């Protein structure tokens, strides 16, 4: 058990981290107390004071902000004010942008209008029980539950590792967490590492505003995620895997664990998988919080029980990852796509989480070649009949595009040529009447709030950018490009490098949004 898991156990037992318990942990594990306190204070999920009866958390970020989240935040703050048994927090994206403005009561997702009733009677809180595993998604190669893990069985027999990797390369599958690195190439690199101990990690820590597709995939198709991880482990020579999931995804973590229990019972996980000479064990690690943990090396630091601060690269995780061993990291969608690709040979669909100014926000698995306009149509069109003004195609780290790109194919090259990126496939639709600079300010503040603070350019630069947007002094916004260049060149990880993309795109593509100071 690592230090973070020890802290989790203490908090679960007592409701918070007591000083005496931390001192005892220090003696028991021979870990300096300052190191334990440094880890505990880094993660927002750990408490140093007793928890009240009720904790209300409400999202302050982009999509909830667009859904009059400011009013919700103020009303919830007033509702909770003055009550000793209730605590209120404004928090970063909860991954529930399809139900904006979103909030939680004691980690149970709900809407602001229901909070008062739940505070008065916690017994009425809905269950965090996941939905039964679904079928019918276009990427699911199995018609019936009894057919699941059939592709794994095929490769356990054939051991055609080279053929498997070549099919992934030929499919065009890329990492779906935002970076877009070719999946087949990554698997090949880790497979060719000669050291015997290797790891497979599923990054299920999606925390970027507008992104919630992995949440749906895990709840409804956990078995595909597990099969994808097992195919990866078998191919690269790993015997251990970890699903790293954000702590807000209580229901989704239960779905993954339930699928794991079933797989173990069927001999699909554990020692000598299906009677073969290969063993593979899987576990779930719950993140103690923070958007930065979605960065793969910060995630590795957390898995090793440390502060989740990004590592300098190189070396990359494929050569020196978890505990210095070769480690394959992909996100939920990438792993879930693998069985489908190995059955059909191509990646012919892509998951999109669509939110903002559409009638029915949600997750769609759309055919390759789908345009932005077609995605809007899948969501019932523009909300209240508004005219499309712009959109963010791949999450908060990508640049806004204008309505002139509404017929663009939502794929890597097309979006890159247009000056943005597919990113995580998180599409935020913006209708007429929106203050684009206000939206960009909200996104920039998100990155400021979520900076781990390890590198000075990111820590100071993101704060400076928010101040420049707020002040709109002559010349400030014109200097934003220089500040962005500094962050790109000097930030340790992608958070700082992408933090100003939204505001730069608004300055460039929506000049009418930039008012002159009075």
Cα–Cα dist 43/51, whole Å: 16
Neighbours of 362 (CB within 10 A): 18
Q: What is the pLDDT of residue 440?
A: 97
Q: Where are the domains of the chain?
A: 3-42, 54-124, 145-344, 349-431, 436-513
Angle between helices 161-171 and 332-344 (to 10 degrees): 110
Q: What is the pLDDT of residue 165?
A: 96
**Strand, helix or coil at 463?**
helix
Residue 58 tokens read as 């409400």
Question: What is the pairing mode between strands 54-59 and 103-105?
Answer: antiparallel
**Strand, helix or coil at 347?**
coil
Longest dimension (CA), the chain: 75
Q: What is the pLDDT of residue 332?
A: 97
Cα–Cα dist 69/75, whole Å: 10
Q: How many helices (H) and strands (E) does the chain have?
A: 20, 13
CATH 3.30.40.10 matches 436-513: no
What is the third-level CATH fold of 349-431?
Ubiquitin-like (UB roll) (3.10.20)
- CATH number for the region 54-124 comes to 3.40.30.10
- CATH number for the region 145-344 comes to 3.40.50.11540
What is the model's pTM?
A: 0.95
Phi then psi dihedrals of residue 245, to 5 deg: -125, 145
Question: What is the pairing mode between strands 199-204 and 240-246?
Answer: parallel
Residue 515 tokens read as 């008012």
Tens place of pLDDT per residue across the chain (518 aa): 689 999 999 999 999 999 999 999 999 999 999 999 999 999 999 999 999 999 999 999 999 999 999 999 999 999 999 999 999 999 999 999 999 999 999 999 999 999 999 999 999 999 888 876 666 899 999 988 889 999 999 999 999 999 999 999 999 999 887 778 999 999 999 999 998 899 999 999 999 999 999 999 999 999 999 999 999 999 999 999 999 999 999 999 999 999 999 999 999 999 999 999 999 999 999 999 899 999 999 999 999 999 999 999 999 999 999 999 999 999 999 999 999 999 987 889 999 999 999 999 999 999 999 999 999 999 999 999 999 999 999 999 999 999 999 999 999 999 999 999 999 999 999 999 999 999 999 999 999 999 999 999 999 999 999 999 998 777 788 899 999 999 999 999 999 999 999 999 999 999 988 864 44
């Amino acid at each position: 058990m690592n230090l973070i898991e020890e802290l989790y156990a203490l908090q679960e037992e007592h409701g918070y981290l007591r000083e005496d318990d931390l001192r005892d942990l220090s003696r028991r594990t021979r870990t300096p107390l300052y190191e334990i306190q440094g880890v505990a204070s880094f993660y927002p999920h750990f408490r140093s004071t007793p928890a009240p009866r009720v904790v209300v958390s409400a999202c302050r970020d982009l999509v909830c902000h667009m859904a009059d989240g400011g009013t919700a935040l103020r009303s919830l703050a007033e509702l909770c004010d003055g009550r000793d048994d209730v605590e209120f927090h404004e928090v970063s994206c909860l991954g529930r942008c399809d139900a904006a403005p979103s909030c939680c009561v004691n980690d149970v997702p709900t809407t602001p209008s229901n909070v008062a009733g739940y505070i008065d009677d916690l017994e009425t809180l809905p269950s965090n029980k996941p939905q039964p595993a679904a079928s019918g998604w276009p990427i699911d190669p199995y018609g019936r539950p009894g057919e699941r893990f059939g592709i794994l069985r095929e490769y356990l027999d054939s051991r055609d590792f080279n053929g498997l990797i070549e099919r992934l390369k030929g499919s065009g599958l890329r990492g779906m967490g935002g970076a877009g690195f070719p999946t087949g190439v990554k698997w090949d690199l880790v497979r060719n590492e000669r050291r015997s101990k290797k790891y497979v990690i599923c990054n299920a820590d999606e925390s970027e505003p507008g992104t919630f597709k992995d949440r749906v995939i895990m709840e409804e198709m956990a078995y595909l995620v597990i099969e994808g991880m097992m195919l990866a482990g078998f191919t690269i020579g790993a015997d251990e895997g970890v699903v790293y999931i954000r702590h807000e995804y209580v229901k989704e973590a239960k779905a993954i664990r339930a699928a794991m229990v079933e797989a173990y019972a069927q001999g699909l996980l554990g020692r000598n998988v299906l009677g073969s000479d290969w063993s593979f064990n899987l576990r779930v690690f719950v993140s103690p919080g923070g958007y930065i943990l979605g960065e793969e090396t910060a995630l590795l630091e957390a898995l090793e029980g440390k502060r989740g601060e990004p590592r300098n690269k190189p070396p990359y995780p494929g050569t020196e990852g978890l505990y210095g061993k070769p480690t394959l990291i992909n996100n939920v969608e990438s792993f879930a796509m693998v069985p489908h690709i190995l059955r059909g040979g191509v990646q012919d669909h892509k998951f999109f989480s669509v939110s903002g100014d559409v009638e029915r926000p949600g997750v769609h698995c759309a055919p390759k070649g789908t345009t932005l306009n077609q995605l809007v149509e899948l969501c019932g069109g523009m909300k209240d009949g508004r005219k499309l003004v712009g959109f963010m195609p791949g999450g908060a780290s990508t640049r806004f595009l204008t309505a002139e790109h509404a017929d663009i194919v939502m794929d890597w090259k097309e979006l890159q040529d247009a000056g943005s990126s597919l990113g995580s496939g998180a599409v935020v639709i913006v209708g007429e009447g929106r203050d684009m600079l206000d939206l960009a300010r909200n996104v920039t503040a998100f990155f400021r709030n979520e900076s781990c603070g390890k590198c000075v350019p990111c820590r100071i630069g993101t704060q400076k950018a928010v101040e420049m947007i707020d002040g709109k002094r002559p010349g400030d916004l014109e200097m934003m490009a220089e500040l962005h260049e500094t962050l790109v060149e000097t930030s340790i990880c992608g958070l700082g490098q992408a933090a100003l993309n939204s505001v730069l795109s608004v300055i460039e593509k929506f000049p009418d949004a930039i008012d002159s100071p009075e």
